[in-house]
Amino acid sequence: MATANRRSSISSRERILAAARELFAARGFKGTTTASIARRARLNEALIFRHFPAKKDLFTAILREKLEDERLARIIDAAECRSMPVEDAFRLVAERFAEAFDPVFLRLYYHSALEDHALADAFYDQFVSRFVALVEQLIVRGIRECRFRNVDASVAARAFTGMLRSYFLTNELFPRHALRGDPKEISLGFCDLFLNGVTRRRPARVNGKGRRWMP
């Protein structure tokens, strides 16, 4: 510790948080030692306990930061969506989702969900379920405006958000199998599939009746 002497406690607090965020994300709560956090933050382990009464409080502080993230709040703010055609609203929502995606937090989030941490539930309440609800409202509106079929809105909302969530989760956890391409474009591809499905519309030249067409 030749140099490091004159450092404000604010910056050391930030350094502890940053180091802890990365380590908790990579190894989970139990898998991360306070000694390793101190090592990565390049400061003494005892300092951690000056700033946070216990290891678990450090963990909750990190999740809480996200709970107060304004960028995330913007995604579930439906205001702008109301004034545009539903189809465009879907595209906007998908793009926003791709923008807000944070791989470090994703890992933290699933770690804490699996470890049954109360804050993961809080995060779900505050963001995920409201995001699903926003999508559901859009679908209901689409049906009312006769643009959408009369589908089950809650199932459809899960389907749409599921495509997005699963895509980002898999890309992060299994990078070897990640889908190549710009995440925003792929998210827009999901929009197209969600809106139109894969089935071909009535073909230009009808050469059969019912559901049986020739290949």
Partner DNA sequence: TAACGGTGTAAGTGACCACTTACTAGAGTA
Partner DNA sequence: TACTCTAGTAAGTGGTCACTTACACCGTTA
Interface with a second copy by CB under 8 A: which residues?
26-28, 30-31, 85, 87, 107, 110-111, 113-116, 120-121, 124, 128-129, 139, 142, 144-149, 151-152, 154-156, 158-159, 161-167, 169-170, 173-174, 176-177, 179, 181, 186, 189-190, 192-203, 211, 213-215
Is residue 4 at the binding interface for DNA, with CB under 7 A as the rule?
Answer: yes
Is residue 61 at the binding interface for DNA, with CB under 7 A as the rule?
Answer: no
Nearer to a second copy, 26 or 35 (CB): 26
Is residue 2 at the binding interface for DNA, with CB under 7 A as the rule?
Answer: no
Please, is 184 exposed, middle or buried when counting C-beta atoms within 10 Å of its C-beta (0-12, 13-18, 19+)? middle
Structure tokens at 79: 């205001």
- State which of positions 19-38 bind DNA (CB under 7 A): 32-35
Contact partner at residue 215 from a second copy, DNA, none, CB < 5 to 8 Å by partner kind:
a second copy
Contact partner at residue 209 from a second copy, DNA, none, CB < 5 to 8 Å by partner kind:
none
Computed from CA positions of residues 54, 55, 56, 59, in that sequence, does the dihedral angle turn out positive or negative? Answer: positive
Contact 108, 25 (CB under 8 A): yes
156 contacts: CB under 8 Å, gap ≥ 6: 136, 139, 194
Contact 128, 72 (CB under 8 A): no
